[in-house]
Structure 1
Amino acid sequence: MQPGLKLSQKVFFLVAVPLTVQLTFVAMLGHLLDQAEKEREREGRARQIIHHVNQIHRIIIGYIAGVAGEGLIGGGSKLEQSYSLRAGFDRELPPLQALLADNPKEFAHLLRLQKKAEASAEKLKQVKRMFKHGGDLALAGELPTMKLILRDLISELEAILSEERLIERTSPKIQATQRQRVRELLLTGVILNIIISIVLVFYFNKSFTNRLAIMMDNSIRLGLGQRLNPPLSGNDELSHLDSRFRDMTGALDAAARKERAVVENAADVIFSLDDSANFTKVSPAALKMWGYDPAFLVGKHCLAIVPKVDAKKTMEALNKVKSDDANNTFESRVVRKHGEIIDIVWSVHWSEPDNLFFCVAHDITERKIAEQVIKEAEARVRQILESLPIGLMMVTLDGKIVLANKTFEEVFGFNLADIEGETIDSILVDNRS
């Protein structure tokens, strides 16, 4: 089976070969059975011919015996009548002619027999008349003539019988030989079918099953990240499927490389947690941000690097993400390897099919420090404003009050809580009127 054949062509080949062999076997078996049937019919035909020839033989012998009996003992007419030559021939010749119609040689003997019988009948009538007038002496004189007539008729019968007796003798042997050939053909057909089935199964396994097993192994190797088997040869559907599988594998490898490049080069720590919040994978950024080697963190609980005061809040946030089945962000802190505490913001997604938390940790320590500096600066400014001996009020560009110190409240009698957010027009009085 050529590897360049299409899968459909291979299947057709697998069906066509045994079917062709079986049809050939059936045709040969039918031919042998037909020959055996023809031989059986040939034997039956020979038996019928022999039967009718023997009947004619008895008619001739009986007729001559009747003629001779009349000459010897007298009153032989009754014996002659019982063996009427014409009546016997009229009875036996038609079926014999039908049986010998397809055998020109024997049919010619039959025609000669018929003519000789008619001539002999006339001759025997003359002999009968001589018997009546000549008595025993006439009988003795005509016996050689009667013998000659009988011998002449019997020779034609024997010419027909010789071939038919040969058929009758040899036909059983021929039929036995044909039956043996049928048995041998049956045995040969069974053995040949077994051999063909074994050969086709071997080639089918080699061209389809084994190659399919290679593709199944490739799918396992892909999942394990192992190198694939060599490409399948040929130009059939399996080889095309293997080629597409390798293209897909190449695309997956390229995507995986890009993903690894993103993860490995990301400034943020990308990691995953199982449903018990244990680290399963950690990106290399953990070493720079947290001071821990990624391999060290895998298998450990995430709270191992979270301050105890933040532990409860962190687990509650993770459980909320898991129950809501949505992305969520929350802030927490991490204790670096050397004891330094940093602030991070978690971006978390729970994957139900994978039963994993996919997380990104972003360091916001500098932002927190900047926010603290701003708060401290605001506090100092507020303290300065509160300490000024003059009343001070701050408004926005659209005139809304946002700040007033204590001196302002004391001088003008307004409470900041009452006027905050109001426009400055609400506290000013027009004295021009």
Structure 2
Amino acid sequence: MRFQEPPLSRKTFILVAVPLAFELIFVFALAFLLQQYEVQLEDERHARDVTSHLNQILRLLMAEGTNAVTAKIANNPLDQTSKRRVLDTRIKAETAETQRIVAGHPDEEAAFNEIYEMLTGCLKILADNKQATAEGDRFAMLKAWGGLNRLTLKLQSRMDELIIQMSTLQEEKQAQQSLTKTYVSVLLCAGLLLNICIVVGLAWIFHRGTIKRLNTLMDNTQRLARGQELSPRIEGLDEIASLDNTFRQMAALLEEATRKQRAAFENAVDVICSIDKDGRFAAVNPASTTVWGLAPDELLGTRISQMVFKDDVNDTLEKIKQIISDQSSGAFENRVIRSDKTLVDMNWTAQWSGEEKTLYCVAHDITERKQIDRLKADFVAMVSHDLRTPLNSVQGFLELLGAEAYGNLNEEGYDSLEITEASVKRLIALINDLLDLEKMESGMLELRIGKTNLKTVLTSSIGSVISFAKQAGVEVKISNDASLVLDADSDRLVQVVVNLLSNAIKFSPKGSQVSIDIDKLSDSVRVNIRDRGRGVPESMRESIFERFKQVELNDERKKGGSGLGLAICKAIVERHGGKIGVEPGADQVGSVFWFTLPLQAAAVTAGS
């Protein structure tokens, strides 16, 4: 069975607990030896003290005997008495001290009690000898000296035995102390060596099970950064193995993302490239071969200024310089010279990386869009000159014909003339709407911004549709005070309101009412046009403002209109910096077409 690495928490516990347990055992063992040494030292001191006091007692006793003999020879009893009193006092003091020392030691206490009895007998004999000497009883004196001699020999023999016993005990304790010192020295050396072995062993185990595996993780991060194959998987159930597993999952996801990114980079239709701070191509995807006719290897190291058409070089470099200085992203258009010397229109999206000092770009081929724009411009010019001018001539001719400038017409002729005039007017209106919308979307429409009274705009708009409203049986009115001045193009606002009112009247039932109300906001105004018509489905509330969009397919045939009115309204309102929309009316009946406009000219779209 393969050994599984324990978790890091357990390793950490072992790393701390093992040395700590050893240190505790070592300290307890050392404390025990030191305690034993103290006990042995105390026993030795005790034996030495007992021996010392016994020797002192023996010397004092012999001194007292010598004092008695000296006093007898010198025939000086007074001197004998005073010295004997001093010696007795010292003997009693030494005896008491010795009794205190041997207390608690039964063998020593029994032996000293025996010595004490002999010592007391000796002192009594000396006292009797003093009295016999005073009385001059020579027989008593001889008897006393004989008894004293026998008892003294016995006392000395017993004291010698006890002294020898204490000396032997003292020597034993000294030997034990020496042995204990040896044990302490051995314990210190062994503890030091064992501690070193434990630390080195734990360090090796920790290195093998943790540091080495962490180094494998670090090596894998470097391998991942270099794109090399990762080291073998780290086995185990601990945190490092889990981290290695997570790292490998991340590496797999990163590799998959890199693969997808590389696939997107290499298979992208647009040219994806990076440009260094000197303006040279640092990396280019294969799309350059299709779009520009140049392989990536041919572009590396080439300055972008060499690829751009000379008339667009300055604008391109200025835009790149601005993106770099702003440390941001931006977009610009230019023309790039292909390998066959033809020009291709490109739309560039660029992002500057300050850390890598590199400009990352995506260049999209907009040649077809530019061609369509040019065709659209040609179409608008054609419609403007080749269609509208002849239609205006036809309209003028029909007006002259209706005025009988070319003679009278019968009733059928007048009916046909009226139908023809209506068709020509509708066609001219459609062309005008189409031209206006193209101008607005291309940014060519100029707004004549000035102080505009909103009430005047609404009144003029109602006047323009009042006849149409009467024919439809619909009432049009302003619901609240619209006396408000704002910065706007009054003619274009009238065009917006007229379009919205016409639609509201067109789809309102007979006998209903179309109302206009104003909501004044902090820095803008909202105009609401409410009707009681069929309403606009929620799915079409956004698309209704696109070109040629109708709620129902037959609306154009039944209700008339070009399908451009709402698109024109949206373009004019957004050109003013406002918004337009539609929402259901009260109780989900009818519609509310609304638009907002800024009050101040500063909020109007730049370029107007």
The alignment's TM-score, normalised by the length of structure 2, stands at 0.57
Of residues 227, 248, 251 in structure 2, which corresponds to 1:249?
251
Following the alignment from structure 1 to structure 2, what is the Cα–Cα distance between the partners of residues 398 and 385? 9
Change (3 A) 1:96 1:333: same
1:261 to 252, 257, 263: 263
Aligned to 1:4: 5
Aligned equivalent of 1:149: 151
| Structure 1 equivalent of residue 239 of structure 2 | 237
Structure 2: distance between partners of 1:395 and 1:300:
59
- Looking at structure 1, the residues matched to 215 and 227 of structure 2 have their Cα atoms a distance apart, in angstroms, of 18
Q: 1:170, 1:277 → 2: CA distance?
A: 99
Q: Matched residue of 2:302: which SS?
A: coil
> How far 1:138 moved relative to its partner?
7.0
Q: Which 10-residue stretch deviates more, 20-29 or 118-127?
A: 118-127
Deviation at residue 109 of structure 1 after TM alignment = 0.8
1:12 Cα deviation after fit: 3.4
Shift of 1:378: 5.9
| 1:90 aligned residue | 92
Of residues 288, 291, 295 in structure 1, which corresponds to 2:290? 288
Is the 1:66–1:80 Cα contact (8 Å) retained in structure 2? no
What secondary structure, in the 3-state scheme, does the structure 1 residue paired with 2:261 have? helix
* Aligned: 1:17 with 2:50: no
Aligned-partner residue type, residue 261 of structure 1: A
Q: Secondary structure at the match of 1:359?
A: strand
Partners of 2:387 and 2:72 in 1: how far apart? 182
1:53 Cα deviation from its structure 2 partner = 0.8
- Within a 5 Å distance, the mapping from 1:34-49 to structure 2 comes to 34-49=35-50
Segments of 5+ residues of structure 1 without an aligned counterpart are 404-425, 427-433
Determine the C-alpha separation between the residues in 1 that align with 2:42 and 2:362.
Answer: 97
Residues 293-320 of structure 1 deviation map (CA, whole Å, 9 limit, x = unaligned): 2233233222333333333332233223
Q: Tell me what 1:358 maps to.
A: 360
Aligned AA (1:312): N
RMSD after superposition = 3.8
1:31 aligns with 2:4: no
CA distance in 2, matches of 1:126, 1:285: 141
Contact kept, 8 Å, 2:388 with 2:431, in 1: the verdict is no
User: Secondary structure of 2:393's partner?
Assistant: coil
C-alpha distance in 2, partners of 1:66/1:309? Answer: 144
- The answer to whether 1:53 aligns with 2:54 is yes
Aligned pair 1:107/2:90, yes or no?
Answer: no
Per-residue CA deviations over 1:338-396 (Å, capped at 9, x if unaligned) read 44432222222333344322222222233334444555566667775599699246766
- Count of aligned positions: 402
Secondary structure of the 1:154 match is: helix
Instruction: Confirm or deny: 8 A CA contact 2:391 2:428 kept in the other structure.
Output: no
In 1, the alpha carbon distance for the partners of 2:71 and 2:318 equals: 143
2:185 paired with 1:200:
no
* CA shift digits 1:117-166 (9 cap, x unpaired): 3445556666777776763x776677664443122222321232122112
Worse-matched range after superposition: 262-271 or 189-198: 189-198
- Which residue identity lines up with residue 93 of structure 2 in the other structure? R
User: What is the deviation of 1:90?
Assistant: 2.9
5+ residue gaps, structure 2, are 396-423, 434-463, 465-608
Partner of 1:160: 162
Contact 2:111 2:162 in 1 (8 A): yes
Counterpart among 202, 205, 213 of residue 215 in structure 2: 213
Query: What is the distance in 1 between the residues matched to 2:153 and 2:21?
Result: 60
CA distance in 1, matches of 2:130, 2:387: 180
Between 28-37 and 393-402, the greater mean CA deviation after superposition: 393-402
Indicate if the aligned counterparts of 1:110 and 1:156 stay in contact, CA closer than 8 A: no
The one-letter amino acid paired with 2:282 is T
- Superposed displacement of residue 168, structure 1: 3.5
Q: Shift of residue 173 of structure 1?
A: 4.4
Higher relative contact order (CA 8 A, sep 6+): 1
Q: Would the aligned equivalents of 1:71 and 1:128 in 2 still touch at CA under 8 Å? A: no
- The 1:287–1:145 alpha-carbon spacing in structure 2 relative to 1, beyond 3 Å, is same
State the AA in 2 paired with 1:282: V
